[in-house]
Every structure is written in C-alpha cells, then in structure tokens.
Chains A and B, each alone.
Chain A
Amino acid sequence: MSKLYEKLRDQLNQEKGVAMATVVRGIEHVGAKILVFPGKRTDGTLGNAALDARVIEDADHAIWHGEADTHTYTIEGSTGTETYDVFIEGFPPPPTLVIVGAGHIAIPLTTFAKTLNYRVEVIDARAAFATRERFPHADELIVEWPDEVLERMDLNPSTSVAVLTHDPKFDEPTLKVVLSRQVGYVGAIGSRKTGEERNERLKKQGLTDEQISHIHGPIGLNIGATSPEEMALAIMAEIVAARHGKDRTAASSWKK
C-alpha cells in the first residue's frame, strides 16, 4: 500500500513534473488512481484500459500546465456505455527562466522573475557582465557559450527562455538549440526588422517556419516600455501570459 502516494511525494520533493488522476464518480472503480510522469510513463490504473488511455492524454497536458479539474469520459465498458468523472491534477516543476545575455534588461528581469517564484539562470559568455554583483538574486550565473550550456540543460514546457544578447553570434546558435526542444516560451530581443532578418538567417540554417513562429519578437507585451525596467516588465508579463496560454490578443482582452 501507499506505493503511488510515495511515488507522488518523491516526484514533488524532487521538483519533477507529475499528474495524478482519480476516478471520483462512476459505476465502479471510484478511488482508482493513475500517476502520469513526463513522457507519458505511468503507474497505477483507473481499472479500465480505454479510460486510462484517454486520461493519460489529458494528464500529460496537465503536468505542464498545472490544471486541476474534473473531466467526464464516456467509454465502452464491461456493462456497456459507462460514464466516469475523473479528477486530474497536474503538478508542474517550478517554472524556470533562462536569460541569455546579462545586459541591462536582464537585471530587473531577474528581480521580477524571482518575485514570481521562478528559478532564474543567467548565461553570458562575457565574464564582465555575468557577475554576482550585478545579479545577486540569480539562482545560477553561467559564463559560457549559451548554446553549449542550453544543449546540456533539461529544457521542458516549464522553461522560459529570454534571449537578450542583441548579437547574432550568440542569439542564433541559442535559438537553434531552444527551438529544437519543447519549451514554454522563447522570446528574442530586437526590432521587427532585426527579427525578420534573423528569422531569414535561421531559415537558411535549416529551421522550419513552424519552429521560427514560436519566437516571441519583438520580445515583450506592447506596454510602451522605454526604460530597461519597463522592458523587463513587458517581457515578464509576456512570459506569464504564455504560461497561462494567452496569446498577444488574449492578453489585452478581458473577455476570457
């Protein structure tokens, strides 16, 4: 007994993503559980393979988005058509913000992200920029080529990446690595024109239009930001909006 509970507990303590689904209403199996881990690895069963299969899909989404809700499923069971209410609860790993480029916007961005309980990692190949004096609150300061660091990192849908280097020799290799993974957000600094030129170059290097379309650029919501602090706020707001599934239009509408 308590096997699933202990696995859930360990996964939460290790800050890894997990989702738990429980049958809360149905003609049988009430209380049955399944745990879903990243990559759709599972443990336990809701008592019916067809139900498990459908729940795993929704639970896999919940791992990264942190939803907690009751879903209703109708399946063909041993007694004919059966309806089950399943409570699915996702526990995403804590959100991480990777800032590439330790310039003047990165400093207030680190402060905002820490306030919002993000883990913050700042990467810059230039040792003079990525210093503890400039970034007292960063969880990690890494002086190395950003694409090499990112290549080694566990990038997942709880990860946001803000590319703030202003320098194609850093930001293009960085974007190539990031766009080949499933991250929650990727934004790159630069004007509309700079962005278009960068996208053309990325396309020539083999990235698809679909991959390139994931770049938020010009980075940040349009709040009329001028100072580094305001730009950091615009970027942070966009990251939060992306985390909650709001695109640019939705972020400025209060309808839903």
Chain B
Amino acid sequence: MRDVLTDIERWRERGERVAVATVVSMAGSATRRPGAKLAVSETGELAGSVSGGCVEPAVVETAMEVIENGKPQMLEFGITEEENIEQIGLACGGTIHVFVERLDW
C-alpha cells in the first residue's frame, strides 16, 4: 500500500476516481505476493503492480469498469509454464487472485 499512496493522493487531489487491485492469494511461483497492489486512476495512470507485467492489461480493463460501476470484482489468473512461454513470454507463473475495488471507502 505504501508504494502506491503518493500517486493515489495526487490523483485524489485532481478529483479523479481511483481503483485499487490487490493480490489476495497466490499459488505456485507467482512474482508478486499477496498484498501487492496496482492502483489505477480514471484517466488510466498506473502505480504499483500485481505481477511481473503479464496480467496488468486485464486488471486495468477491469479497474476501469469498477471505477464506473463501483462493483468489486475478483479476477483469477492461472499461468502454466507452457502457456507462459507460448503466449505471454514474461517471467510469470503460478495462479493469483486479484481483488479489484473502487477507492470509495
């Protein structure tokens, strides 16, 4: 949380709405641990990360929806080693659950 606070504060000062995505569970050798956060502003600025970069595009897309409708969502990403090499080509692995919520609390 500490690593995304400064950016969140900057966006809030500009009056932007914000979504926060948090890794809430992991299995296998995922790159970021539970608690890792990606914050997204409504104009699409990012702070922090929830993976080595491989799932961020999908999380940002969901974050935009959540900023609009206010409904939290749970995302699951499972990446096998083969998929990783063939499709994504990043140093990801394991399964992670990412909880995406609007910062309205």
Contact = CB atoms under 8 A, between A and B. Distances in A.
Contacts of B97: 24, 70
A1 interface: yes
Interface stretch (A25-33, A188-196, A199-207, A232-240): A25-33
A24 B1 contact: no
B81 interface: no
A9 B39 CA distance: 14
Contacts of B101: 22, 31
A8 interface: yes
A24 B105 contact: no
* B interface, size bucket: 10 to 19
Interface residues of A, number: 23
A9 B9 contact: yes
A4 B105 contact: yes
A162 B25 CA distance: 36
Interface in B12-71: 12, 22, 24-25, 33-35
Given A87-B22, A87-B24, A68 B35 contact: yes
Interface string A1-33: 111110011001100000000101100001101
A5 B97 CA distance: 22
Interface string B3-14: 001000100100
A87 B97 CA distance: 11
Contacts of A25: 74
Given A2-B104, A22-B99, A24-B74, A91 B1 contact: yes
B1 A8 contact: yes
B40 to A, nearest CB: 15
Contact of A68 (B5, B12, B33, B105): B33
Contacts of B72: 24, 30-31
Given A12-B1, A87-B99, A89-B35, A69 B105 contact: no
A85 B105 CA distance: 19
Interface in A10-60: 12-13, 22, 24-25, 30-31, 33, 44
Contacts of B25: 69-70
B105 A1 contact: yes
A3 B25 CA distance: 26
Contacts of A89: 1, 22, 34-35
Contacts of A33: 105
Contact of A69 (B12, B34, B103, B104): B34
Contacts of B1: 8, 12, 89, 91
Interface string A59-103: 000000000111000000000000001010101000000000000
A140 B62 CA distance: 47
Kindly list the 8 A-B residue pairs having the minimum CB-CB distance in the complex, ordered from nearest.
A68-B35, A31-B72, A87-B24, A68-B34, A24-B99, A70-B25, A4-B105, A70-B24
7 contacts: A2-B105, A13-B5, A31-B105, A70-B97, A87-B24, A89-B35, A91-B2
